[in-house]
Amino acid sequence: MTEYKLSINAKDLKEDSPVESEINGKKYAVFLHQEKIHVLGGICTHEGGPLYDGSIDGNELICPWHSAAFNIHTGNASENTPWAAEDIVSYKARIDAPSGDVFIEM
């Protein structure tokens, strides 16, 4: 596993409010939930919707285009929204202190 630094700082994150970040042109959805950092793949497996513009409902990240739901801990697509048949990736992430830099493992 290698750690990669995202193009975002934890100071810019808000609770349950996904934002876009990227590494080498690949996009990720980054947000805090219950004060913990979450980083998931940023592109919906249905028709490529921007999950970094999505919303959080309980433990699910909701796609802004057609409301596919993905578990924020596992990345698994919900059985209730079967049009997104494939899961997204949920990355192990950490916030560096005191810089606020965000790192993910890949």
Position 6, amino acid: L
- Least separation in angstroms between CB 13 and ligand FES: 22
CA 80 to chain centre: 19
CA pair distance 10, 58, nearest whole angstrom: 21
Based on CB atoms, which residue is closest to ligand FES, 16 or 64?
A: 64
Asked if 64 contacts 50 with a C-beta cutoff of 8 angstroms, the reply is yes
Q: How many residues bind ligand FES (CB under 6 A)?
A: 10
Q: Which of 41, 46, 88, 104 binds ligand FES (CB under 6 A)?
A: 46
Chain residues binding ligand FES by CB under 6 A are 44, 46-49, 63, 65-66, 68, 84
